[in-house]
Structure 1
């Protein structure tokens, strides 16, 4: 017996735990993190300089084509209870794995869900009842190979604390998910991401491995054991016997335990080559007896002790979270647009994780399944925004470099214009906020009625790929969108663009309202420049308005947002106008990197857009030198944004011709204008007219939705997807 240890028999429940102190809480990025301009200022600079930050590295490595060595493995004996082909789908749908980038999801410093990925360490095991792996972290990128390698000892971190918290209380468990790229997968993986089962953490220890360049580094290891040992794991090979797949009963094997004489701490006899102290701070840590030739033992040659692999631990808990979470339900206190209703669900038929991609509900992402689940939103009224519009805690503010002009009040609207500066002590564009007065809201056919009518329509709103679109790590936009008129956002929205000739009446009415707002704002800006003798470069703030031929409809649930971006596509005119309906939002403007205006790192202009407000950006320089972002402050909001798409600048001939046709109003609408000064729709001669209430274009039928009844709003409706001959929402 070695002089550095004492041994004694060890029952299957006894465990060793090396607990690290003073850990930090895990921060897990979500699907709603900014698409552009996200993260720290340091990371922003890296991206703009063409360098990757940590999140981008993870996304690139996660999306690297895998060496599919699993394709020739045996078929599984069962199927996963929950699965997905997209990484974001499991993070959206599973409350026990809200981790869009990290491999670990924890809550209150306790591990809840763990993804074993494609990267494995020496001596990792993936068996029917036992998984041995690293808790993750501690790697750096090799600049020459761009591979993640170990160069130094793995530090104590939040992962160790999260796993340790499960060991402290034997009634806790976590759910393990397996990536199809894991080369140790015992069978042919059915899907990209596969939920395995509930596991308990039985052991955490430290060991030495060869890192980059052959250097020995210390890492952490964890042993996970399946909670339910009575049922066969679905990831075992089909027709395999108990012995070959490692099914063992509790008590048949017991791993011996020994105490270190140097540090007085216990360690299990984990390796065949003998016992060693597994406490990384002990002077006897990882010291094995020398080989017969008096050479040190090579860590790469170590093998696990059979008793360590086959020891089974009874699970003392009984309150396991469901692997398939229940479907969300409307209650008397919810509307159906709260955060939980934008999250994903798990298909109760096939187990596929379903992202909320459509405004009207969830549609199974499994092409072989026809399941769909709709929860009609309760109708919002303006009284619902009294407390939730954010106006009490968020007020308009602007940097001293921004010039705010005196308000202009008309009988129905209040204009507030801000001039954004250039780098030459002049101005390059204007932001005009047009706030309606009381009568504009309440009259028949006014803003409140318009908002109600939008809620009665199915606008075809969908969430679309914002990052790595179409790949296994695709992330969706936080908001829902649909485009009307000339195509906009080429490659993103163009596939669902609907022409203005067949657009629903509320869409066309809004375009006419925003056309008036654009014209009025351009005229106001031109007058201010002349009256105040403002310094403006030629053509920076044009005095002519280019008529809108496109409308992008955006829908926001609670917590939805649009990250920092610009509308600087070459096909766009210099004016962008938006109408806000429903909950208030906070819109912020910031200078792009390298633009020398305002206080460094701060927003130059922040505006609270309330129900009925219109905002007009005028001047192409705004998009060239500034970014803007929008955060929804309530539970339900529509934003209708108009632009002028210049067909002549579209390179593709088919797209160019389509833009000319789709951007034209139908005959019944072409002769109607909106006059904001009198707040009415008028003919070309100035006479008041009634707007058409229907459309003659058949394409509208593809986006019509009936008003839900009161009974339908109480709970979701489960239904099968329509046949291919029936238009889907």
Structure 2
């Protein structure tokens, strides 16, 4: 809604009646705005149609935040840094005294609202004066210290009620200062920079969004090597954009050079014979390390829960025919179909994954739903990787290892990651194996929150839980009959109530280098623990193989997991 102002009048629409701003005689010297009654957000209404075209627009918050550097707030209406507000989002709801004209915007600070039973946004509590959003906007004409007796009172001493904006206040202007300039362009031209510097194609700035040069829409980068305005494939991925498909089909493909393995690694040497591992003599899980000619193998044994086996390849193994060095180069040269997907469980303004993915073989759905192709569509590079992962699984698990029938390929640009999650879906077998190619990464394991604080431990005392030694002692007393079950539960809950840390500390941390493989074995490992991966360079691939239980799938889906290795795709461990 746009309101045009002239002098002390507000004209609403070309055909609307002009109405005078009401100025109370007793309060006309108080340049203040106020509300009365319920100040919860209200839908912004108006009779006038929008005029003109915006310099940029978006149909989702994520696209907006991705493309415009001056508004990165994925939640909330204000984006600020160092007590300076860069951008403010006026959405569907506003305060009862919001004021907008061609030059002025007056609105409430968003936040601290909740949906009521009818789905309406209601003010839950006032913003605290110490919050960043208030500090960044605070320039007031009345006391805003909640503990002060003059809090929210006018110069006359009265509490604001039934006020209108003073016309003098609305007409006032500070003298412009040419030295004060915005930090960012209103609509940045990122496309021009990236076209000129193709070597930045995987840098952090390159996977931000852009503004379409044809229709001015903010576009997230969902494809591995390009941006597409109104991507038609979004219709198949439950993307909110598909509800209102546009007509603009502008697309730009990045010229992506093939990076050498040397250019993406920070290591002084590639594929050293022996690597240092993170150790802590006081850690509950102590690694066991031994060496073969091609690999350093480190095992973290969690007893009945399961184990984690880390294979680090040496230089000669990396350089072998169809080995990690070749696979890294060739994966850049084939079109795998990698893309970013909406994350389940988020708000209507959905977020996208901070990685690109595509699935081969049996369908596999975790926190996101990924496009899946049969192994008959997989390029040879995927099958060579699958052969290595099958070997690693058999080496780590032994005769109980099941043949992999699914492989998830994930691509990471600079600063991309996969947050804490587990692979504990009931459709999966107990073993998961992953191959890392390219930049170094860090893989972390920790207890899930409910097991860390003991609120859902089911009498299990798990490595990494808070008060581990105390819980272990209580468990022994319960097993020996010194504590009955009721008393045992009471004492365990007392320990749970003393936990102050929100998330568990990392139990195991692995440094993943180019060519490394990790095998996680044990369904309880996925039940109790979660893991994350953070990439630390400008390009990395992670290829993860699993066994999907066929009884959970249709006949057509099972066919996608069928394959036959060629002789050179069977890995011999060298």
Q: How does 1:179-194 map to 2 (within 5 A)?
A: none
Corresponding position: 1:598 with 2:464: yes
Q: How does 1:218-257 map to 2 (within 5 A)?
A: none
1:54 corresponds to? none
1:265 corresponds to? none
Corresponding position: 1:101 with 2:75: yes
TM-score normalized by the length of structure 2: 0.74
What CA distance in whole angstroms lies between the structure 2 residues aligned with 1:69 and 1:357? 32
In the TM superposition, residue 397 of structure 1 has moved relative to its aligned partner by: 4.0
What CA distance in whole angstroms lies between the structure 1 residues aligned with 2:262 and 2:315? 14
1:488 corresponds to? 364
Aligned match of 1:620 in 495, 503, 523?
523
Corresponding position: 1:657 with 2:555: yes
In the TM superposition, residue 127 of structure 1 has moved relative to its aligned partner by: 2.0
1:63 corresponds to? none
Change beyond 3 A, Cα 1:588–1:394: farther
2:186 corresponds to? 323
Equivalent residue of 1:508, what SS? helix
Aligned match of 1:429 in 306, 312, 327?
306
Change beyond 3 A, Cα 1:144–1:503: closer
TM-score normalized by the length of structure 1: 0.59
8 Å Cα contact 1:487-1:493 kept in structure 2:
no
1:352 corresponds to? 217
Aligned match of 2:248 in 348, 369, 375?
369
In the TM superposition, residue 306 of structure 1 has moved relative to its aligned partner by: 2.4
In the TM superposition, residue 479 of structure 1 has moved relative to its aligned partner by: 0.8
Aligned match of 2:429 in 568, 573, 580?
573
Corresponding position: 1:415 with 2:287: no
In the TM superposition, residue 153 of structure 1 has moved relative to its aligned partner by: 7.7
Equivalent residue of 1:493, what SS? coil
Q: Deviation per CA, 1:365-397, whole angstroms, max 9, x where unpaired?
A: 362111112222222212124427999999534
Change beyond 3 A, Cα 1:553–1:206: farther
Change beyond 3 A, Cα 1:149–1:107: closer
8 Å Cα contact 1:499-1:663 kept in structure 2:
yes
Aligned match of 1:477 in 332, 349, 353?
353
Matched pairs, number: 472
Change beyond 3 A, Cα 1:333–1:658: closer
2:166 corresponds to? 305
2:154 corresponds to? 286
For structure 2, the 5+ residue unaligned runs are 1-25, 33-40, 231-244, 452-456, 467-503
What CA distance in whole angstroms lies between the structure 1 residues aligned with 2:126 and 2:223? 46
1:340 corresponds to? 205
In the TM superposition, residue 430 of structure 1 has moved relative to its aligned partner by: 1.2
What CA distance in whole angstroms lies between the structure 2 residues aligned with 1:204 and 1:433? 59
Aligned match of 1:382 in 236, 250, 261?
261
Q: Which moved more, 1:116-125 or 1:474-483?
A: 116-125
Q: How does 1:202-217 map to 2 (within 5 A)?
A: 204-206=140-142
What CA distance in whole angstroms lies between the structure 1 residues aligned with 2:122 and 2:43? 19
8 Å Cα contact 2:374-2:561 kept in structure 1:
yes
Corresponding position: 1:518 with 2:393: yes
Change beyond 3 A, Cα 1:388–1:345: farther
8 Å Cα contact 1:389-1:584 kept in structure 2:
no
Change beyond 3 A, Cα 1:397–1:125: farther
What CA distance in whole angstroms lies between the structure 1 residues aligned with 2:197 and 2:171? 52
In the TM superposition, residue 491 of structure 1 has moved relative to its aligned partner by: 8.5
8 Å Cα contact 2:127-2:134 kept in structure 1:
no
Alpha-carbon RMSD across the aligned residues, in angstroms, is 3.6
Corresponding position: 1:133 with 2:10: no
Q: Deviation per CA, 1:587-641, whole angstroms, max 9, x where unpaired?
A: 0111122253225332111001100001111111110111111111111100000
8 Å Cα contact 1:468-1:475 kept in structure 2:
no
What CA distance in whole angstroms lies between the structure 1 residues aligned with 2:124 and 2:361? 53
What CA distance in whole angstroms lies between the structure 2 residues aligned with 1:281 and 1:447? 70
What CA distance in whole angstroms lies between the structure 1 residues aligned with 2:125 and 2:358? 48
Corresponding position: 1:119 with 2:101: no
2:284 corresponds to? 401
In the TM superposition, residue 335 of structure 1 has moved relative to its aligned partner by: 3.4
2:332 corresponds to? 455
Change beyond 3 A, Cα 1:395–1:134: farther
For structure 1, the 5+ residue unaligned runs are 9-14, 17-65, 165-202, 208-217, 221-278, 290-295, 421-425, 524-542, 651-655, 680-729
In the TM superposition, residue 547 of structure 1 has moved relative to its aligned partner by: 0.4
